Amino acid sequence: LAKTTQPISMDSYEGQEVNITCSHNNIATNDYITWYQQFPSQGPRFIIQGYKTKVTNEVASLFIPADRKSSTLSLPRVSLSDTAVYYCLLNNNDMRFGAGTRLTVKP
Amino acid sequence: DTEVTQTPKHLVMGMTNKKSLKCEQHMGHRAMYWYKQKAKKPPELMFVYSYEKLSINESVPSRFSPECPNSSLLNLHLHALQPEDSALYLCASSQRTTGSSGHEQYFGPGTRLTVT
């Protein structure tokens, strides 16, 4: 069974910042938190990964509190093309996907 | 090169056929995966190979038979499938499955399988 919980769906508008939170109460010491984006009929695409505190790349930021029991993916200024399903995974010895969050960006 | 390739893109097979799905990566990754994904569902892990050895089999029916001929190739042999096996089959690779870093996965585009 997947060890993560996310909201099933979220709506946003173009230009807004979107924050998707993932709960992982039973995260293990050696687990990293990884986020993927998936468009219909395509394979998931790696977005960002972190272990603690904050990680930022050209696409997104990932915020992880000190207890690591949750994490938040932040997408700045979303566009219509960011409409997709977003998954968080704990990947050290566990590559199982949870249900994911279906993000819909509206004009 | 961060690409994982899968062939064929589409496959239609009868329940008595035998076919194979192929996956290839040239990133030097030592872990490779098969996932099955039904419409509007998350990918379901099927098999994990680590250093060319099968390390995880998620209780997949024996009509699915994985094979890892070398560190760059992963096959999924199919025989006597059922219509409910119709799905998108995804291959992925990562540097390793364990260790001190997170080992993000790189996915191929998938093979759309239809069993008639």
Rounded CA-CA distance A82/A104 in Å is 8
Q: What is the mean pLDDT of residues A33-37?
A: 94
- Nearest CB partner across the interface for A34, out of B43, B45, B104: B104
Give per-residue pLDDT as tens, A86-99.
999 987 656 788 89
Residue B102, pLDDT score: 60
| Chain A contact present for B101, CB below 8 A | yes
Per-chain mean pLDDT for chain B:
92
Count of A–B CB contacts within 8 Å? 65
Which of B4, B42, B100 is nearest residue A97 as measured by Cβ atoms? B42
Nearest chain B alpha carbon to A90: B102
Does B4 sit within 8 Å of A46, measured CB to CB?
Answer: no
Question: Of B106, B114, B81, whose CA–CA distance to B30 is shortest?
Answer: B106
Report CA torsion sign: B92, A102, B44, A55: positive
Q: How far apart are alpha carbons A85 and A83 in whole angstroms?
A: 7
Q: State residue B103's pLDDT score.
A: 79
Query: Tens digit of pLDDT for each residue in A47-58?
Result: 999 999 999 999
Residue B109 to residue A43, Cβ atoms within 8 A = yes
Q: Determine, for residues B44 and A97 on separate chains, whether the beta-carbon distance falls below 8 Å.
A: yes
Is any Cβ of chain B less than 8 angstroms from the Cβ of A42?
yes
